Structure 1
C-alpha cells in the first residue's frame, strides 16, 4: 500500500479552480458568497492559531474584526487615506491593541481567559456603538471609497474576488510556515502542557502573546477587507455573535488543522444559504446536523481525515512487514522443497 501520489497536486489544483471560477461564471451571487467565505476564513484562521495551536480559547475576535473594519473605513472615509495605507494601519492597530490585551488577559488560564476575552470583545463592540462622534454609532458608517491601488480600482465583484483571494492565500501560506516552524512547535507544546514547555526553557508568556497578536492581526485584516468590500459598516459587525459563529466554523472544519477554517466556513455558510428558503425552520434543520457532526466528528472534518491518515500510516509498516514475512516464508519453503537448504 502507498499513499495517494497525487496529493501534492491538491493545493495547486484548488488554487487553479479558485482562479478560474470568475472566468467560468458571471453570477454575482456565487461570487459574493465566495468572497464572504474568503473573508471569514481569514478571521477563523486567526482564531485557529490561538485556540487550536496555542490552546487559548479567545472569544474577542469579533471585536478585533470590527476594529479592523472601522479603522479602514474611518481612515478612507474621513481621513481620505488610500486603501493600502488604511489597510496597513488597520492591521497594525489591531495588532497593537491585541498585544496590550494579550499581556493582560493571557495571565489568566482556561475558562477565565475565555471569559475575559469575551468581555474585551463586548467592550470593543460597545465603544464602536456608543462613540457616535467618531463611528456614527447606530447610524452606520457610510461613504467608504472604492478600494484602489495605484490607478486600478477594485470596483467590480470580480476584481474584489481576486483581491480578497490573494489575501486569503497569503494568510494561509503564512499560517502554514508558522505551524511548520519552531514557533509553531512551540505553540503546540504550550497547548499540550504549559508546565512542561516552561521546564524545557520556553518563554510561555511571550509565545502566547505572539500567537494572540498574530490571531488578532488576521481578524483585523479580515475586518478591513470586509469594510473595503461592503463599503458600509454598522455596529453589528463587531457583535459577539460573530465570535461564536467563527468558533462554529472552526469546530466543524477541524480545530488545529490548516484547512479546517476554510472547510468549516465554506460548509456552514453554504448550508445556511441552502436553507435560506426555510428561514423559519433553518436552525431547526441545521441544529441536529451540527449535533451529529460534533458527536461523530469531534475533531471536525479535517481533523477526522488527518486522524484517518495517521491511522493508515501507522498500519502501513506493520502490513508491509507482515507481507515481507509471508514472502520470506514462502521462499524458504520452496527452497526446502527443492533441497537447496539442508534440513
Structure 2
C-alpha cells in the first residue's frame, strides 16, 4: 500500500516551514541566519540517526564518519576534479549509501552491543583515514576554499540564498522520513525493533530491511555533509569523529527518539543553547548534563514524546502500540 499524506498532520509542518521561510525577510542579523542554517544541517544528521535508532532500534555510531565522507566527496570533486556542486552532491550521497551497504553486510552479522562497538570502531577508522590521507583529503590541514554553489546567475554564497537551499533540503528530508515512517517498510522496521524473531514469523526479511535502513541513514548523512562542506568552505577530520555522533545523539534524545519532530526540536534547542554557552567552553556540560538527566527522568520519550503523551492524555488513554505512530 502506498503511504498517503495526512493533511491534518502535515499542516503544523507547513506552518513551521512557512514561518521559517519568512525569517530572512525580518532578520537581517547574519549570525542569526548562520545559526539557523547550522541547525537545519545538523537536524538532517539527527534524522539520519533517527531512522535507524528510532524506527529500527539500531544504534549506528559511525554516522559522523559518513557525514564527513559526503562533505569530503563534495570538497574533493569540486576542488580537485572541477565538478559542479550539483553533480558532486548526489555523488557524495550515492557513495555514502554504497559504503553504508558494505558496512551493513559486515556489521549486521554482529548483534547487540557488539554492533554499536563495531560501528564505533569504523567511525574512528574513517576519521583516521581522512586525517592521514594527505594527498586526497589534505590531512591535518583539511580542505580549504570549497566554493559555495551557483545555479546560473544565482550565487548561494550571498545573502539568504543558502538559507533557502538548506530549508528546502530539510523539507525534503522531513517529507522522506515521514513517508518512510508511514510506509510498510517503516512499519516493518518498527516490528523489527520490537522483536526480530516475531518480525521473521510475519514474513519480514530482517537482514534486507536492516541493509535498506542503513543505506537510507548513511545517504541522509552524506546529504547533510555535502551541504555543510560548501556552507563552511572548509573541512577538517575533527567534525567526522565519533564525538560528533554522540553530540547528535544528545540532540535526538532531548527531542525524542522515534518521533518525527524530535530531531528538529532537540537540535534547535541544544544547538542554540550551546551557542549561548560557547564562551564558557567545557563548562557548558554542567548545564547539558543535568538537562539530559531531567529529560530522561521526566520525559524519557524526549520533548516531542512528552507532547504526544500530553495530547493523548487529553483525548484518550494511549496504548504502547499507538505511541510510535501518533502525533509528532
Question: Which secondary structure state, in structure 2, belongs to the residue aligned with residue 291 of structure 1?
Answer: helix
Q: Choose the corresponding residue for 2:273, options 255, 259, 271.
A: 271
**Alignment counterpart, residue 73 of structure 1, candidates 60, 72, 75:** 75
* Root mean square deviation, CA, Å: 1.6
1:235-314 equivalences under 5 Å are 235-279=237-281, 281-314=283-316
- Please state how far the C-alpha of 1:283 moved relative to its aligned partner: 1.9
**71-80 or 295-304, larger mean C-alpha shift:** 295-304
What does residue 102 of structure 2 align with? 100
Cα displacement (A) at 1:157: 4.4
- Contact kept? 1:144, 1:228, Cα under 8 Å: yes
Identify which of 10, 13, 29 aligns with 2:12.
10
Residue number in structure 2 paired with 1:164: 166
Question: Structure 2 length as normaliser, TM-score?
Answer: 0.92
- Partner Cα distance (2:287, 2:88) in 1: 41
1:48 — aligned with what? 50
How many residues align? The count is 312
Q: Equivalent of 2:61, from 42, 59, 62? A: 59
- Give me the whole-angstrom Cα distance separating, in 2, the residues matched to 1:312 and 1:60: 40
Q: 1:119 is matched with which residue? A: 121
Gaps of 5+ in 2: 1-6, 319-328
Q: What is aligned with 1:173?
A: 175
What secondary structure does 1:53 align onto? coil
State the Cα distance separating 1:8 from its structure 2 match: 5.8
Q: Give the structure 2 partner of residue 207 of structure 1.
A: 209
Match of 2:130 among 128, 133, 152: 128
TM-score by length of 1: 0.88
CA distance in 2, matches of 1:204, 1:294: 30
Q: Which has the larger radius of gyration?
A: 1
Distance 1:40 1:18 in 2: 16
1: CA distance between counterparts of 2:162 and 2:105?
36
> In structure 2, what is the Cα distance between the partners aligned to 1:150 and 1:104?
43
